[in-house]
Chains A and B, each alone.
Chain A
Amino acid sequence: MRKFYGVELSSPLMLGTSQYPSPAVLAEAFRRSGASVATVSVRREAGGDTAGQDFWALIENLGVAILPNTAGCHSVKEAVTTAHMARELFDTKWIKLEVIGHSDSLQPDPFNTLEAARILCADGFEVFPYCTEDLVLCERLVEAGCEVLMPWGAPIGTGLGLNNIFGLRALRAQFPDIPLVIDAGLGVPSQAAHAMELGYDAVLLNTAVAKAGDPAAMADAFGKAVVAGQLAYAADPMEPRDMAAPSTPVLGQAIL
């Protein structure tokens, strides 16, 4: 199993912490999913507001690795400053680098993502870049020092699944030693299983669980799906073929 900056994850499921109906449901979703990583953000807190302190008390008790993000950042400067605040706040070198370039699709900005990745890698961060499946961009991110790549499946929050299976398969073939995570766009567990069947190392999702009618049950389903997909990939699936081939022996069939 490929390691994430030297860390072996107990489950290939990374789960977001946003948009749940309640903190209790969030905790139950994590428990049932078996997720090994929780993504979190940093946001303003002043005056008597203690929402962040309360949230941290909940997350600390989940017993999972913390992956802070730079969600909402559009510029290199914003992302780098946010990463520094997150590193101190969560006491981790891990950072999910998210630099948005397009406000409708929330597509990552490849140019600013690369520049921010260069700065953060040089400063000792362990960068998990949210990117597209663009081979050239991913090559540059690896050259910049990224030891993990996180291409989108589809735009954030859409639930469309894997929009470019050919591109994702090519990325897997191009980077056999780099842990690859499908980040964003997944809607149902079969899509997560498919990502794992392509040889991906993990999936990161949030909305599909948090916005399900029963988030904890959906978390359970995703947890089982990623394990199923992982097992299937390791089991070396058969090659698809265009023509039918009988599975029951033809030899010995009675002539009637």
Chain B
Amino acid sequence: MKITVNGVSVETDATTLAQLLVEHGKAEAKIATAVNEAFVPAIARETHSLADGDRVEIVAPRQGG
């Protein structure tokens, strides 16, 4: 299915958010996630199913003022 990850359109076989993070090499990384503009806590990634057209955001710590 086709979804959007951080604004980029991608094809994925992942059916859950946790699987998507493994695909992107972020399973163990210090990141936080949102799907379709709603926060998805780490504890819910295993059970959060992905659907065609979903918009996923993966964020990490970054410089800030």
Contacts and interface: CB of A to CB of B under 8 A. Distances in A.
Contacts of A207: 65
Contact of B59 (A16, A45, A55, A184): A45
Interface string B11-51: 00000000000001110011111100111011000000000
A78 B39 CA distance: 10
Interface string B43-65: 00000000000000111111111
Contacts of B60: 42-45, 51-53, 55-56, 89
Contact of B63 (A40, A46, A81, A156): A40
A84 interface: yes
Given A46-B26, A48-B25, A52-B30, A69 B61 contact: no
Given A44-B6, A86-B32, A52 B41 contact: no
Given A52-B30, A56-B30, A81-B39, A46 B62 contact: no
Interface string A53-84: 10110010000000011010000011001001
B3 interface: no
A168 B61 CA distance: 32
Given A48-B25, A69-B64, A71-B65, A42 B34 contact: no
Contacts of B33: 85
A52 B26 contact: no
Q: Contact residue range for chain B?
A: 20 to 34
Interface string A87-102: 0111000000000000
Interface string A1-45: 000000000000000111110000000000000000001111111
Contacts of A41: 61-65
B19 to A, nearest CB: 15
Given A47-B24, A81-B37, A84-B39, A55 B63 contact: yes
Contacts of B64: 16-18, 39-41, 68-69, 71
B61 A42 contact: yes
B33 to A, nearest CB: 7
B31 A89 contact: yes
A206 interface: yes
Central interface residue in A39, A46, A88, A206, by most chain B CB within 10 Å: A46
A174 to B, nearest CB: 27
Contacts of A88: 32, 39, 41-42
A208 to B, nearest CB: 10
A85 B5 CA distance: 16
Interface of A: 16-20, 39-48, 50-53, 55-56, 59, 68-69, 71, 77-78, 81, 84-86, 88-90, 156, 184, 206-207
9 contacts: A39-B65, A42-B62, A46-B24, A51-B62, A56-B61, A69-B65, A71-B64, A71-B65, A81-B34
